[in-house]
Structure 1
Amino acid sequence: MPTPIDTFPTLSAIPPVALVASPSVRAPGLRAALGLVALYFVLQAVGSGLIALVLGVAMGFVRPWQGVAAAGDGIRSMLDQPGMPALLAILTLSLAALLIVLLARQRWPQLWSLAQPPGFGFVRTGRPLFLALAVVIGLAAPLFGGWLTQLLAHGQTVTQNIQQLGADTPPAWRIVLVLVVVGVGPLVEELLFRGVLLSALWQRWRSGWAVALSSLAFALVHLPGLQWQWFALPDLWLLALALAWLRLRSGSIWPGVLAHGVNNLLAVAAWFVAINLPG
Protein backbone atom coordinates (compact mmCIF):
# COMPACT_ATOMS: atom_id res chain seq x y z
CA MET A 1 0.00 0.00 0.00
CA PRO A 2 1.55 3.35 -0.97
CA THR A 3 2.39 5.80 1.78
CA PRO A 4 1.21 9.45 1.88
CA ILE A 5 4.75 10.49 1.06
CA ASP A 6 4.77 8.42 -2.12
CA THR A 7 1.37 9.58 -3.32
CA PHE A 8 1.43 13.19 -2.22
CA PRO A 9 2.62 14.79 -5.51
CA THR A 10 -0.30 13.17 -7.41
CA LEU A 11 -3.16 13.95 -5.02
CA SER A 12 -4.98 15.92 -7.70
CA ALA A 13 -5.41 15.88 -11.42
CA ILE A 14 -5.06 19.65 -11.40
CA PRO A 15 -1.61 20.29 -12.83
CA PRO A 16 0.79 22.34 -10.72
CA VAL A 17 2.10 25.68 -11.80
CA ALA A 18 5.31 25.13 -13.73
CA LEU A 19 8.55 25.65 -11.88
CA VAL A 20 9.96 28.99 -12.87
CA ALA A 21 13.21 29.89 -11.20
CA SER A 22 16.38 31.47 -12.40
CA PRO A 23 19.50 29.34 -11.99
CA SER A 24 21.16 32.35 -10.38
CA VAL A 25 18.61 32.46 -7.55
CA ARG A 26 19.88 30.67 -4.47
CA ALA A 27 17.46 28.93 -2.15
CA PRO A 28 17.78 29.24 1.62
CA GLY A 29 20.21 26.76 3.12
CA LEU A 30 18.75 24.19 5.46
CA ARG A 31 20.69 25.57 8.41
CA ALA A 32 19.48 29.11 7.70
CA ALA A 33 15.89 27.92 7.28
CA LEU A 34 15.86 25.95 10.52
CA GLY A 35 17.58 28.86 12.25
CA LEU A 36 14.86 31.26 11.15
CA VAL A 37 12.14 28.88 12.38
CA ALA A 38 13.91 28.53 15.71
CA LEU A 39 14.42 32.28 15.96
CA TYR A 40 10.68 32.87 15.57
CA PHE A 41 9.87 30.76 18.61
CA VAL A 42 12.83 32.07 20.61
CA LEU A 43 11.63 35.61 19.93
CA GLN A 44 8.24 34.65 21.31
CA ALA A 45 9.71 33.07 24.43
CA VAL A 46 12.21 35.83 25.18
CA GLY A 47 10.02 38.64 23.93
CA SER A 48 7.14 37.54 26.14
CA GLY A 49 9.25 38.04 29.26
CA LEU A 50 10.65 41.39 28.15
CA ILE A 51 7.26 42.74 27.09
CA ALA A 52 5.71 41.55 30.36
CA LEU A 53 8.43 43.39 32.28
CA VAL A 54 7.86 46.60 30.30
CA LEU A 55 4.11 46.38 30.78
CA GLY A 56 4.56 45.69 34.48
CA VAL A 57 6.74 48.76 34.93
CA ALA A 58 4.42 50.95 32.84
CA MET A 59 1.36 49.88 34.82
CA GLY A 60 3.02 50.20 38.20
CA PHE A 61 3.05 46.51 39.08
CA VAL A 62 6.83 46.28 38.87
CA ARG A 63 9.34 48.59 40.54
CA PRO A 64 12.82 47.68 39.26
CA TRP A 65 14.59 48.71 42.45
CA GLN A 66 12.69 46.10 44.47
CA GLY A 67 14.63 43.17 43.04
CA VAL A 68 13.99 40.14 40.83
CA ALA A 69 11.65 38.29 43.18
CA ALA A 70 9.41 41.33 43.64
CA ALA A 71 9.44 41.95 39.88
CA GLY A 72 8.26 38.38 39.28
CA ASP A 73 5.44 38.79 41.79
CA GLY A 74 4.46 42.07 40.15
CA ILE A 75 4.33 40.51 36.69
CA ARG A 76 2.16 37.67 37.98
CA SER A 77 -0.18 40.19 39.61
CA MET A 78 -0.38 42.13 36.36
CA LEU A 79 -1.19 38.99 34.38
CA ASP A 80 -4.04 38.25 36.78
CA GLN A 81 -5.78 41.38 35.50
CA PRO A 82 -8.54 40.82 32.89
CA GLY A 83 -7.21 40.94 29.35
CA MET A 84 -3.54 41.24 30.26
CA PRO A 85 -2.49 37.72 29.14
CA ALA A 86 -4.24 38.38 25.82
CA LEU A 87 -2.50 41.74 25.40
CA LEU A 88 0.84 40.08 26.13
CA ALA A 89 0.14 37.36 23.54
CA ILE A 90 -0.95 39.92 20.94
CA LEU A 91 2.15 42.05 21.36
CA THR A 92 4.55 39.10 21.55
CA LEU A 93 3.23 37.30 18.45
CA SER A 94 2.89 40.49 16.41
CA LEU A 95 6.41 41.74 17.15
CA ALA A 96 8.01 38.32 16.59
CA ALA A 97 6.14 37.93 13.28
CA LEU A 98 7.14 41.41 12.12
CA LEU A 99 10.82 40.79 12.85
CA ILE A 100 10.79 37.43 11.06
CA VAL A 101 9.04 38.81 7.97
CA LEU A 102 11.46 41.75 7.77
CA LEU A 103 14.47 39.47 8.23
CA ALA A 104 13.30 37.00 5.58
CA ARG A 105 12.54 39.85 3.21
CA GLN A 106 15.99 41.34 3.70
CA ARG A 107 17.79 37.99 3.47
CA TRP A 108 16.05 36.60 0.36
CA PRO A 109 14.37 39.52 -1.47
CA GLN A 110 14.55 37.83 -4.88
CA LEU A 111 12.58 34.78 -3.74
CA TRP A 112 9.35 36.44 -2.66
CA SER A 113 7.84 36.87 -6.12
CA LEU A 114 8.76 33.40 -7.45
CA ALA A 115 5.74 31.11 -7.69
CA GLN A 116 7.44 27.80 -6.91
CA PRO A 117 10.43 26.66 -4.83
CA PRO A 118 12.94 28.08 -4.32
CA GLY A 119 10.52 31.00 -4.33
CA PHE A 120 8.23 31.80 -1.41
CA GLY A 121 5.11 32.26 -3.55
CA PHE A 122 4.00 35.75 -2.54
CA VAL A 123 2.17 36.14 -5.82
CA ARG A 124 -1.52 36.21 -6.67
CA THR A 125 -2.81 32.84 -7.77
CA GLY A 126 -4.28 32.82 -11.26
CA ARG A 127 -6.64 30.01 -10.30
CA PRO A 128 -9.54 31.15 -8.07
CA LEU A 129 -10.48 27.49 -7.63
CA PHE A 130 -7.65 27.15 -5.15
CA LEU A 131 -9.09 29.89 -2.95
CA ALA A 132 -12.35 27.94 -2.77
CA LEU A 133 -10.39 24.76 -2.01
CA ALA A 134 -8.51 26.64 0.70
CA VAL A 135 -11.77 27.52 2.45
CA VAL A 136 -12.98 23.92 2.18
CA ILE A 137 -9.71 22.59 3.61
CA GLY A 138 -9.74 25.19 6.37
CA LEU A 139 -13.27 24.18 7.36
CA ALA A 140 -12.74 20.43 7.05
CA ALA A 141 -9.34 20.17 8.75
CA PRO A 142 -10.49 21.02 12.32
CA LEU A 143 -13.47 18.66 12.03
CA PHE A 144 -11.54 15.68 10.68
CA GLY A 145 -8.46 16.52 12.74
CA GLY A 146 -10.48 16.87 15.94
CA TRP A 147 -12.10 13.49 15.35
CA LEU A 148 -8.71 11.87 14.66
CA THR A 149 -7.11 13.45 17.73
CA GLN A 150 -9.96 12.36 20.00
CA LEU A 151 -9.71 8.85 18.56
CA LEU A 152 -6.00 8.67 19.36
CA ALA A 153 -6.43 10.36 22.76
CA HIS A 154 -8.60 7.49 24.06
CA GLY A 155 -10.73 9.72 26.23
CA GLN A 156 -7.99 12.07 27.43
CA THR A 157 -8.84 15.76 27.51
CA VAL A 158 -7.28 17.65 24.60
CA THR A 159 -6.39 21.23 25.48
CA GLN A 160 -4.46 24.07 23.89
CA ASN A 161 -2.81 27.06 25.54
CA ILE A 162 -4.49 29.40 23.07
CA GLN A 163 -7.93 27.99 23.92
CA GLN A 164 -7.37 28.56 27.63
CA LEU A 165 -6.05 32.04 26.92
CA GLY A 166 -9.16 32.99 24.97
CA ALA A 167 -11.51 31.54 27.56
CA ASP A 168 -10.03 33.82 30.24
CA THR A 169 -10.13 36.96 28.07
CA PRO A 170 -12.83 39.65 28.11
CA PRO A 171 -14.96 39.73 24.90
CA ALA A 172 -13.46 42.96 23.53
CA TRP A 173 -9.92 41.59 23.76
CA ARG A 174 -10.94 38.31 22.16
CA ILE A 175 -11.71 40.10 18.90
CA VAL A 176 -8.21 41.59 18.69
CA LEU A 177 -6.65 38.28 19.69
CA VAL A 178 -8.63 36.47 16.99
CA LEU A 179 -7.36 38.89 14.34
CA VAL A 180 -3.79 38.06 15.35
CA VAL A 181 -4.40 34.30 15.56
CA VAL A 182 -6.27 34.19 12.25
CA GLY A 183 -4.18 36.73 10.31
CA VAL A 184 -0.68 37.26 11.68
CA GLY A 185 0.02 33.70 12.83
CA PRO A 186 -0.89 31.96 9.56
CA LEU A 187 1.02 34.49 7.46
CA VAL A 188 4.32 34.11 9.27
CA GLU A 189 3.99 30.33 9.68
CA GLU A 190 3.25 29.82 6.00
CA LEU A 191 6.28 31.95 5.18
CA LEU A 192 8.45 29.85 7.47
CA PHE A 193 7.22 26.32 6.71
CA ARG A 194 5.75 26.49 3.18
CA GLY A 195 8.15 29.19 2.09
CA VAL A 196 11.63 29.20 3.61
CA LEU A 197 11.88 25.66 5.02
CA LEU A 198 10.10 23.93 2.13
CA SER A 199 12.39 25.71 -0.34
CA ALA A 200 15.49 24.64 1.59
CA LEU A 201 14.36 21.00 1.71
CA TRP A 202 13.22 21.07 -1.92
CA GLN A 203 16.79 21.72 -3.07
CA ARG A 204 17.91 18.48 -1.45
CA TRP A 205 15.06 16.11 -2.36
CA ARG A 206 12.66 17.88 -4.77
CA SER A 207 9.99 15.33 -3.88
CA GLY A 208 7.34 14.39 -1.38
CA TRP A 209 10.09 14.04 1.21
CA ALA A 210 10.57 17.80 1.29
CA VAL A 211 6.84 18.24 1.83
CA ALA A 212 6.68 15.50 4.46
CA LEU A 213 9.65 16.78 6.47
CA SER A 214 8.58 20.42 6.44
CA SER A 215 5.11 19.29 7.51
CA LEU A 216 6.56 17.18 10.32
CA ALA A 217 8.56 20.19 11.52
CA PHE A 218 5.36 22.24 11.53
CA ALA A 219 3.63 19.62 13.67
CA LEU A 220 6.48 19.25 16.14
CA VAL A 221 6.93 22.95 16.87
CA HIS A 222 3.25 23.17 17.87
CA LEU A 223 3.52 20.47 20.52
CA PRO A 224 4.45 22.87 23.39
CA GLY A 225 1.27 24.86 22.72
CA LEU A 226 -0.65 21.57 22.92
CA GLN A 227 0.99 20.74 26.25
CA TRP A 228 3.06 17.99 24.56
CA GLN A 229 0.03 15.85 23.76
CA TRP A 230 1.56 13.54 21.15
CA PHE A 231 -1.83 12.37 19.85
CA ALA A 232 -2.31 15.79 18.21
CA LEU A 233 0.66 15.20 15.89
CA PRO A 234 -1.18 13.29 13.10
CA ASP A 235 -3.80 16.05 12.85
CA LEU A 236 -1.13 18.76 12.58
CA TRP A 237 0.91 16.75 10.07
CA LEU A 238 -2.09 16.14 7.80
CA LEU A 239 -3.05 19.82 7.98
CA ALA A 240 0.49 20.79 7.01
CA LEU A 241 0.45 18.34 4.09
CA ALA A 242 -2.75 19.93 2.81
CA LEU A 243 -1.28 23.42 3.16
CA ALA A 244 1.86 22.35 1.27
CA TRP A 245 -0.32 20.84 -1.46
CA LEU A 246 -2.15 24.16 -1.83
CA ARG A 247 1.15 26.01 -1.94
CA LEU A 248 2.69 23.86 -4.67
CA ARG A 249 -0.38 23.30 -6.82
CA SER A 250 -1.57 26.91 -6.82
CA GLY A 251 1.88 28.47 -7.24
CA SER A 252 1.03 30.92 -4.47
CA ILE A 253 1.35 30.99 -0.71
CA TRP A 254 -1.96 32.84 -0.27
CA PRO A 255 -4.35 29.85 -0.53
CA GLY A 256 -2.37 28.21 2.28
CA VAL A 257 -2.57 31.37 4.37
CA LEU A 258 -6.34 31.47 3.79
CA ALA A 259 -6.83 27.79 4.71
CA HIS A 260 -4.59 28.17 7.75
CA GLY A 261 -6.54 31.23 8.88
CA VAL A 262 -9.93 29.51 8.46
CA ASN A 263 -8.60 26.52 10.40
CA ASN A 264 -7.46 28.79 13.24
CA LEU A 265 -10.76 30.66 13.19
CA LEU A 266 -12.71 27.45 13.79
CA ALA A 267 -10.25 26.46 16.51
CA VAL A 268 -11.03 29.63 18.48
CA ALA A 269 -14.74 29.90 17.58
CA ALA A 270 -15.59 28.60 21.06
CA TRP A 271 -14.37 31.91 22.48
CA PHE A 272 -17.39 33.67 20.98
CA VAL A 273 -19.76 30.92 22.13
CA ALA A 274 -18.37 31.36 25.64
CA ILE A 275 -19.25 35.08 25.54
CA ASN A 276 -22.94 34.21 25.66
CA LEU A 277 -22.73 31.48 28.27
CA PRO A 278 -23.96 32.29 31.79
CA GLY A 279 -21.23 32.94 34.32
Structure 2
Amino acid sequence: MEDPSVQEQPSPEHRPTYVRPPGLEFAMGMGIFGLVFMVFFVAQTAVLMRELVRRMPEHFSSGFDLGALSDPLVLPEVQKLSMNGDVVASTAFWSGLVASVLLLFLVFLWRGKAGARSLIGIRSAPPRLYLIWIGVFALLVLGLEALAWAFPQFRTEFMEEVLGSTTNTAMLVLGVGILAPVFEELLLRGLLLGSLRFLVDRHVAVAISAGAFTLMHLQYEPLVMLMILPMGVVLGYARVNSGSIFVPILLHLLNNVISIALPTTY
Protein backbone atom coordinates (compact mmCIF):
# COMPACT_ATOMS: atom_id res chain seq x y z
CA MET A 1 0.00 0.00 0.00
CA GLU A 2 1.36 3.41 -0.99
CA ASP A 3 2.20 5.95 1.70
CA PRO A 4 -0.45 8.71 1.42
CA SER A 5 2.02 11.26 2.81
CA VAL A 6 4.22 10.96 -0.29
CA GLN A 7 3.41 13.66 -2.84
CA GLU A 8 2.09 12.27 -6.10
CA GLN A 9 4.55 12.63 -9.00
CA PRO A 10 3.26 13.41 -12.48
CA SER A 11 3.84 10.74 -15.08
CA PRO A 12 6.59 11.53 -17.62
CA GLU A 13 4.11 12.25 -20.39
CA HIS A 14 2.34 14.86 -18.25
CA ARG A 15 5.40 16.67 -16.96
CA PRO A 16 5.52 20.26 -18.23
CA THR A 17 8.25 20.94 -20.78
CA TYR A 18 10.09 24.25 -20.54
CA VAL A 19 10.06 26.09 -23.84
CA ARG A 20 12.42 29.03 -24.20
CA PRO A 21 10.84 32.23 -25.55
CA PRO A 22 11.53 32.85 -29.28
CA GLY A 23 13.49 35.99 -28.46
CA LEU A 24 15.82 34.04 -26.19
CA GLU A 25 16.29 31.32 -28.80
CA PHE A 26 17.16 33.98 -31.36
CA ALA A 27 19.62 35.64 -28.98
CA MET A 28 21.32 32.33 -28.24
CA GLY A 29 21.58 31.56 -31.94
CA MET A 30 23.09 34.95 -32.69
CA GLY A 31 25.53 34.54 -29.81
CA ILE A 32 26.77 31.30 -31.35
CA PHE A 33 26.85 32.99 -34.76
CA GLY A 34 29.07 35.78 -33.41
CA LEU A 35 31.41 33.37 -31.64
CA VAL A 36 31.78 31.09 -34.66
CA PHE A 37 32.39 34.02 -37.00
CA MET A 38 35.05 35.40 -34.65
CA VAL A 39 36.82 32.02 -34.54
CA PHE A 40 36.58 31.83 -38.33
CA PHE A 41 38.19 35.26 -38.67
CA VAL A 42 40.92 34.49 -36.13
CA ALA A 43 41.72 31.20 -37.90
CA GLN A 44 42.01 32.98 -41.25
CA THR A 45 44.21 35.66 -39.74
CA ALA A 46 46.44 33.09 -38.01
CA VAL A 47 47.07 31.20 -41.26
CA LEU A 48 47.79 34.44 -43.13
CA MET A 49 50.17 35.69 -40.44
CA ARG A 50 51.97 32.34 -40.28
CA GLU A 51 52.60 32.56 -44.01
CA LEU A 52 53.74 36.17 -43.65
CA VAL A 53 56.29 35.22 -40.98
CA ARG A 54 57.55 32.38 -43.17
CA ARG A 55 58.01 34.61 -46.19
CA MET A 56 59.47 37.63 -44.40
CA PRO A 57 61.61 36.23 -41.55
CA GLU A 58 63.75 39.36 -41.46
CA HIS A 59 60.75 41.37 -40.21
CA PHE A 60 59.64 38.76 -37.67
CA SER A 61 62.89 37.43 -36.22
CA SER A 62 61.30 36.95 -32.78
CA GLY A 63 57.90 35.80 -34.01
CA PHE A 64 54.82 37.65 -35.18
CA ASP A 65 54.47 41.24 -34.01
CA LEU A 66 51.45 43.40 -34.85
CA GLY A 67 53.69 46.45 -34.86
CA ALA A 68 55.49 45.06 -37.91
CA LEU A 69 52.32 45.50 -39.95
CA SER A 70 52.95 49.25 -39.93
CA ASP A 71 56.17 48.66 -41.86
CA PRO A 72 55.61 49.97 -45.43
CA LEU A 73 57.44 46.92 -46.76
CA VAL A 74 55.12 44.48 -45.01
CA LEU A 75 51.70 45.81 -46.06
CA PRO A 76 52.18 45.15 -49.80
CA GLU A 77 53.19 41.58 -48.96
CA VAL A 78 49.99 41.13 -46.94
CA GLN A 79 47.95 42.33 -49.91
CA LYS A 80 49.85 40.01 -52.23
CA LEU A 81 49.30 37.02 -49.94
CA SER A 82 45.56 37.67 -49.85
CA MET A 83 45.50 36.88 -53.59
CA ASN A 84 47.98 34.00 -53.50
CA GLY A 85 46.34 30.72 -54.44
CA ASP A 86 48.19 28.57 -51.92
CA VAL A 87 47.45 30.99 -49.07
CA VAL A 88 43.81 31.38 -50.09
CA ALA A 89 43.43 27.58 -50.19
CA SER A 90 45.08 27.12 -46.80
CA THR A 91 43.06 29.86 -45.08
CA ALA A 92 39.81 28.57 -46.58
CA PHE A 93 40.58 24.99 -45.55
CA TRP A 94 41.61 25.57 -41.95
CA SER A 95 39.18 28.35 -41.10
CA GLY A 96 36.30 26.47 -42.73
CA LEU A 97 37.15 23.20 -40.98
CA VAL A 98 37.63 24.68 -37.50
CA ALA A 99 34.59 26.96 -37.69
CA SER A 100 32.29 24.24 -39.10
CA VAL A 101 33.18 21.77 -36.35
CA LEU A 102 32.71 24.45 -33.68
CA LEU A 103 29.37 25.52 -35.14
CA LEU A 104 27.96 22.00 -35.20
CA PHE A 105 29.21 21.27 -31.69
CA LEU A 106 27.68 24.42 -30.20
CA VAL A 107 24.35 24.09 -32.02
CA PHE A 108 23.94 20.44 -30.99
CA LEU A 109 24.88 21.42 -27.43
CA TRP A 110 22.29 24.23 -27.48
CA ARG A 111 19.39 22.52 -29.22
CA GLY A 112 20.00 18.82 -28.78
CA LYS A 113 20.14 16.34 -31.65
CA ALA A 114 16.59 16.77 -32.97
CA GLY A 115 16.50 20.53 -32.44
CA ALA A 116 19.87 21.09 -34.10
CA ARG A 117 18.96 19.00 -37.13
CA SER A 118 15.72 20.94 -37.50
CA LEU A 119 17.29 24.38 -37.10
CA ILE A 120 20.16 23.78 -39.52
CA GLY A 121 18.17 21.61 -41.92
CA ILE A 122 20.17 18.41 -41.61
CA ARG A 123 17.73 16.20 -43.47
CA SER A 124 17.48 14.64 -46.90
CA ALA A 125 15.53 16.15 -49.78
CA PRO A 126 13.86 14.40 -52.74
CA PRO A 127 16.16 14.11 -55.79
CA ARG A 128 13.74 16.18 -57.89
CA LEU A 129 14.27 19.17 -55.59
CA TYR A 130 18.02 18.99 -56.17
CA LEU A 131 17.40 18.96 -59.93
CA ILE A 132 14.91 21.83 -59.77
CA TRP A 133 17.21 24.07 -57.74
CA ILE A 134 20.24 23.19 -59.85
CA GLY A 135 18.22 24.37 -62.86
CA VAL A 136 17.14 27.59 -61.13
CA PHE A 137 20.68 28.31 -59.98
CA ALA A 138 22.11 27.56 -63.43
CA LEU A 139 19.71 30.06 -65.02
CA LEU A 140 20.78 32.70 -62.50
CA VAL A 141 24.47 32.07 -63.13
CA LEU A 142 23.96 32.28 -66.90
CA GLY A 143 22.14 35.58 -66.43
CA LEU A 144 24.96 36.96 -64.29
CA GLU A 145 27.53 35.78 -66.85
CA ALA A 146 25.61 37.60 -69.57
CA LEU A 147 25.51 40.75 -67.43
CA ALA A 148 29.26 40.59 -66.84
CA TRP A 149 29.86 40.03 -70.55
CA ALA A 150 27.74 43.06 -71.48
CA PHE A 151 29.12 45.33 -68.76
CA PRO A 152 32.87 44.89 -68.07
CA GLN A 153 32.59 46.74 -64.74
CA PHE A 154 30.87 43.65 -63.34
CA ARG A 155 33.83 41.42 -64.15
CA THR A 156 36.55 40.28 -61.76
CA GLU A 157 39.82 38.46 -62.26
CA PHE A 158 40.07 37.30 -58.64
CA MET A 159 39.85 33.57 -59.36
CA GLU A 160 42.20 33.83 -62.33
CA GLU A 161 44.81 35.52 -60.10
CA VAL A 162 44.34 32.90 -57.41
CA LEU A 163 44.67 30.04 -59.91
CA GLY A 164 47.69 31.64 -61.53
CA SER A 165 49.57 31.71 -58.23
CA THR A 166 48.65 28.29 -56.83
CA THR A 167 50.99 25.30 -56.79
CA ASN A 168 48.42 22.89 -55.32
CA THR A 169 45.14 22.86 -57.24
CA ALA A 170 43.82 19.92 -55.22
CA MET A 171 44.15 21.92 -52.00
CA LEU A 172 42.43 24.87 -53.67
CA VAL A 173 39.50 22.67 -54.66
CA LEU A 174 39.31 21.21 -51.16
CA GLY A 175 39.52 24.58 -49.40
CA VAL A 176 37.72 27.01 -51.72
CA GLY A 177 35.62 24.51 -53.66
CA ILE A 178 34.35 22.35 -50.81
CA LEU A 179 35.03 23.53 -47.25
CA ALA A 180 34.28 27.21 -47.87
CA PRO A 181 30.78 26.49 -49.29
CA VAL A 182 30.03 23.97 -46.54
CA PHE A 183 30.96 26.43 -43.79
CA GLU A 184 29.18 29.41 -45.35
CA GLU A 185 25.98 27.44 -45.81
CA LEU A 186 26.08 26.02 -42.28
CA LEU A 187 26.66 29.52 -40.92
CA LEU A 188 24.28 31.55 -43.08
CA ARG A 189 21.54 29.26 -44.39
CA GLY A 190 21.81 27.00 -41.34
CA LEU A 191 22.50 28.86 -38.10
CA LEU A 192 21.66 32.45 -39.10
CA LEU A 193 18.54 31.70 -41.13
CA GLY A 194 17.35 29.16 -38.57
CA SER A 195 17.83 31.63 -35.71
CA LEU A 196 16.06 34.42 -37.60
CA ARG A 197 13.04 32.18 -38.12
CA PHE A 198 12.30 32.39 -34.40
CA LEU A 199 11.33 36.05 -34.94
CA VAL A 200 10.67 36.73 -38.64
CA ASP A 201 9.12 34.99 -41.63
CA ARG A 202 11.06 33.08 -44.25
CA HIS A 203 11.28 35.98 -46.71
CA VAL A 204 12.90 38.35 -44.21
CA ALA A 205 15.21 35.58 -43.02
CA VAL A 206 16.28 34.84 -46.60
CA ALA A 207 16.88 38.55 -47.29
CA ILE A 208 19.03 39.05 -44.19
CA SER A 209 21.06 35.89 -44.79
CA ALA A 210 21.61 36.94 -48.42
CA GLY A 211 22.88 40.33 -47.26
CA ALA A 212 25.28 38.67 -44.82
CA PHE A 213 26.43 36.33 -47.61
CA THR A 214 27.23 39.33 -49.80
CA LEU A 215 29.21 41.06 -47.04
CA MET A 216 31.32 37.94 -46.51
CA HIS A 217 32.79 38.45 -50.00
CA LEU A 218 34.58 41.75 -49.47
CA GLN A 219 37.48 40.54 -51.61
CA TYR A 220 35.40 41.60 -54.62
CA GLU A 221 34.61 45.06 -55.96
CA PRO A 222 31.25 46.60 -54.88
CA LEU A 223 29.64 46.05 -58.29
CA VAL A 224 30.67 42.40 -58.28
CA MET A 225 29.25 42.04 -54.77
CA LEU A 226 25.89 43.17 -56.17
CA MET A 227 25.98 40.07 -58.37
CA ILE A 228 26.52 37.90 -55.31
CA LEU A 229 23.36 39.17 -53.61
CA PRO A 230 20.86 37.37 -55.90
CA MET A 231 22.90 34.19 -55.51
CA GLY A 232 22.39 34.48 -51.76
CA VAL A 233 18.66 34.93 -52.27
CA VAL A 234 18.38 31.79 -54.41
CA LEU A 235 20.47 29.79 -51.94
CA GLY A 236 18.21 30.98 -49.13
CA TYR A 237 15.01 29.96 -50.87
CA ALA A 238 16.59 26.65 -51.83
CA ARG A 239 17.10 26.06 -48.11
CA VAL A 240 13.65 27.06 -46.86
CA ASN A 241 11.68 25.50 -49.73
CA SER A 242 13.54 22.19 -49.70
CA GLY A 243 13.87 22.02 -45.93
CA SER A 244 17.41 20.71 -46.37
CA ILE A 245 20.75 22.47 -45.93
CA PHE A 246 22.26 19.97 -48.37
CA VAL A 247 20.51 21.60 -51.35
CA PRO A 248 22.20 25.04 -50.99
CA ILE A 249 25.47 23.34 -50.03
CA LEU A 250 25.41 21.41 -53.32
CA LEU A 251 24.56 24.54 -55.35
CA HIS A 252 27.27 26.59 -53.66
CA LEU A 253 29.81 23.79 -54.01
CA LEU A 254 29.08 23.36 -57.72
CA ASN A 255 29.43 27.12 -58.27
CA ASN A 256 32.82 27.29 -56.56
CA VAL A 257 34.24 24.16 -58.17
CA ILE A 258 33.14 25.33 -61.63
CA SER A 259 34.62 28.77 -60.92
CA ILE A 260 37.95 27.06 -60.22
CA ALA A 261 37.72 24.86 -63.30
CA LEU A 262 36.47 27.66 -65.57
CA PRO A 263 37.49 31.02 -64.07
CA THR A 264 35.65 33.72 -65.97
CA THR A 265 33.79 36.51 -64.26
CA TYR A 266 33.33 35.83 -60.53
Please report the TM-score for the alignment, with normalisation by the length of structure 1: 0.69
Please say which structure displays the higher CA radius of gyration: 2
What do residues 93-115 of structure 1 show as CA deviations (whole Å, max 9, x unaligned)? 12211221222122210658558
Select which of 211, 216, 221 maps to 1:216.
Answer: 211
- Determine if the alignment matches structure 1 residue 169 to structure 2 residue 169: no
What is the CA–CA distance in structure 2 between the aligned matches of 1:112 and 1:140, rounded to whole Å?
Answer: 38
**What residue in structure 2 maps to residue 201 of structure 1?**
196
In structure 2, relative to structure 1, the CA distance for the partners of 1:177 and 1:105 (3 Å cut) is same
What is the CA–CA distance in structure 2 between the aligned matches of 1:205 and 1:193, rounded to whole Å?
Answer: 15
In structure 2, relative to structure 1, the CA distance for the partners of 1:147 and 1:79 (3 Å cut) is closer
Shift of 1:143: 1.7
In structure 2, relative to structure 1, the CA distance for the partners of 1:47 and 1:150 (3 Å cut) is farther
SS at 1:200 equivalent: helix
What is the CA–CA distance in structure 2 between the aligned matches of 1:220 and 1:80, rounded to whole Å?
Answer: 21
> Could you tell me which amino acid in structure 2 is paired with residue 199 of structure 1?
G
Select which of 227, 230, 245 maps to 1:238.
Answer: 230
Shift of 1:131: 2.2
SS at 1:124 equivalent: coil
Shift of 1:124: 2.5
SS at 1:205 equivalent: coil
Select which of 216, 223, 226 maps to 2:220.
Answer: 226
> Could you tell me which amino acid in structure 2 is paired with residue 91 of structure 1?
S
**What residue in structure 2 maps to residue 95 of structure 1?**
94
**What residue in structure 2 maps to residue 121 of structure 1?**
121
Instruction: Give the aligned length.
Output: 239
Question: Relative contact order (C-alpha < 8 Å, sep 6+): which is higher?
Answer: 1
Contact 1:215 1:241 in 2 (8 A): yes
SS at 1:183 equivalent: helix
Structure 2 residues without counterparts, runs of 5 or longer: 1-16
What is the CA–CA distance in structure 2 between the aligned matches of 1:116 and 1:212, rounded to whole Å?
Answer: 22
What do residues 137-156 of structure 1 show as CA deviations (whole Å, max 9, x unaligned)? 443332222223555xx432
Please report the TM-score for the alignment, with normalisation by the length of structure 2: 0.72
In structure 2, relative to structure 1, the CA distance for the partners of 1:250 and 1:116 (3 Å cut) is farther
Question: Aligned runs of 1:108-187 on 2, under 5 Å?
Answer: 108-109=107-108, 111=111, 114=114, 119-125=119-125, 127-149=126-148, 154-156=151-153, 158-170=155-167, 173-187=168-182
Contact 2:99 2:183 in 1 (8 A): yes
**What residue in structure 1 maps to residue 8 of structure 2?**
none
> Could you tell me which amino acid in structure 2 is paired with residue 225 of structure 1?
Q
**What residue in structure 1 maps to residue 85 of structure 2?**
86
**What residue in structure 2 maps to residue 5 of structure 1?**
none
Q: Which moved more, 1:239-248 or 1:37-46?
A: 37-46
What is the CA–CA distance in structure 2 between the aligned matches of 1:187 and 1:133, rounded to whole Å?
Answer: 20
Indicate the percent of aligned positions where both proteins have the same amino acid: 21
